[in-house]
Amino acid sequence: MRPTTVLTATLAVALLATAAWGATTAPPPQTNLRPTIGILSQPTFGTLANWGKQYIAASYIKYVEGAGAQAVPIRYDLPAEEITELFRSVNGLLLPGGGVELGDNKYTQTLFQLLDLAVAANKAGDFFPVHGTCFGFQEIAMYVANDLNLLINTDSENLTLPLEFTHAAASSAMFGDAPAEIMDILAKQPVTMNNHHYSLSPAGFAASSNLTAFFNVLSTNVDRNGIEFISTMEAKDMPITATQWHPEKPLYEWDPVEVINHSSDAVKAMQFTAQAFVSNSRSNSHTFASQTAENKALIYNFNPVYTEQAVNSFDQCYFW
């Protein structure tokens, strides 16, 4: 969906401090053996509304669970105090793909609140990883740029591509320690699944001083019409990463309409990304107030619904 032009006060205030983000947040030792990842829900759309008002695709749950973390749904309509409490309890945040009209609404307020909290935590030395996938990539970019009309139209839906790495990738936190085999797969094989109508162009990135100060671009790609877009980026001074492509789909989505690469090499490369994200979460020391509180927050309290016949993008979803 196309973002609206409505900006919230939260976004504007958060970006005033962008130029001051100078201190690198170094990862503490990975001592957390029970990491939990918060995953933000989105409003349902189309036929998904038959099951509830908000959802999380089960593939994102499986993505973090498969790398050794527990998943905690963060329902976007919770009161701000409960959002803050959940943030202080989980060890990382995953912003899924999907599509929501950003603007003066509760979803946008919750999204920006979580990003405000993550940025503030990292600036204070509280190492807190965030990853955005597809729409999550776009959300983070628009938040940092302070521009909800940042994106351009591209013909990049249902398109699987190899990554075109930039020089920054080799020394990045995201790919710097990747085995040569993984980098070779990502660079030479069509394993990254794109499913988006809007993209962040290199020109749009370069024109935003907020973006250039905050992010390093790690890869780009071109759509079916030869239009270039940024496909991977990471923050310079904190563990915030974003992929315009879907690392969860080769692992956990099976609709034959989508051109998802399920080869062993694709699976291996996507598992690497999950392991890297969850490994970062092991360096965060947030905890729930009690084991009982943690148990009540976990995704295990809810059951997924088989949704493949209703929507091509997701085989299973959780609803509220």
Least reliable range by pLDDT among 9-13, 81-85, 202-206: 9-13
Q: What is the mean pLDDT of the chain?
A: 92
Q: Is the pLDDT of residue 16 over 50?
A: no
φ/ψ of 217, rounded to 5, equals -85, 125
- Mean pLDDT for 35-53 is 96
Least reliable range by pLDDT among 3-7, 183-187, 223-227, 261-265: 3-7
pLDDT at residue 13, as a whole number: 35
Q: Which two tokens stand for residue 159?
A: 């398109």
Q: Is the pLDDT of residue 215 over 60?
A: yes
pLDDT at residue 108, as a whole number: 94
Confidence bin at 294 (pLDDT 50/70/90): very high
Cα separation, 234 vs 213, in Å, equals 11
pLDDT at residue 26, as a whole number: 62
* 9-13+32-319 has CATH 3.40.50.880 classification: yes
Other CB atoms within 10 Å distance of the CB of residue 50: 11
Q: 89-123 in b/e burial notation, b at 16+ Cβ within 10 A?
A: bbbbbbbbbbbbebeebebbbbbbbbbbbbbebbb
For 176-215, the DSSP string reads TT--HHHHHHHHHS--EEEEEEEE--HHHHHH-HHHHHHE
Residues whose CB falls within 8 Å of the CB of residue 63, separated by 6 or more in sequence, listed in order: 94, 247, 248, 251, 252, 274
- Mean pLDDT for 58-74 is 99
What is the Cβ-side half-sphere exposure of residue 120, based on CA atoms within 13 angstroms?
13
Confidence bin at 129 (pLDDT 50/70/90): very high
Confidence bin at 318 (pLDDT 50/70/90): very high
Give percent above pLDDT 70 in the chain: 92
Tens-digit pLDDT profile for residues 223-239: 999 999 999 999 999 99
Residue type, 54: Q
pLDDT at residue 1, as a whole number: 40
Residues annotated catalytic, as ranges: 134, 246
Q: Is the pLDDT of residue 151 over 90?
A: yes
Least reliable range by pLDDT among 23-32, 64-73, 192-201: 23-32
Confidence bin at 217 (pLDDT 50/70/90): very high
- Mean pLDDT for 165-185 is 98
Tens-digit pLDDT profile for residues 25-41: 567 888 999 999 999 99
Least reliable range by pLDDT among 20-24, 103-107, 123-127, 152-156: 20-24
Give Cα separations from 56 to 76, 94, 123, 215, 279 (angstroms).
Answer: 11, 11, 29, 27, 22
Q: Is the pLDDT of residue 134 over 90?
A: yes
Helices (H), the chain: 9-15, 58-65, 80-87, 106-123, 135-145, 180-188, 202-207, 209-214, 249-252, 264-281, 291-297
Confidence bin at 311 (pLDDT 50/70/90): confident
Confidence bin at 20 (pLDDT 50/70/90): very low
Give the domain ranges of the chain. 9-13+32-319
Q: How far from chain centre, in Å, is Cα 228?
A: 21
- 20 vs 174 pLDDT, higher one: 174
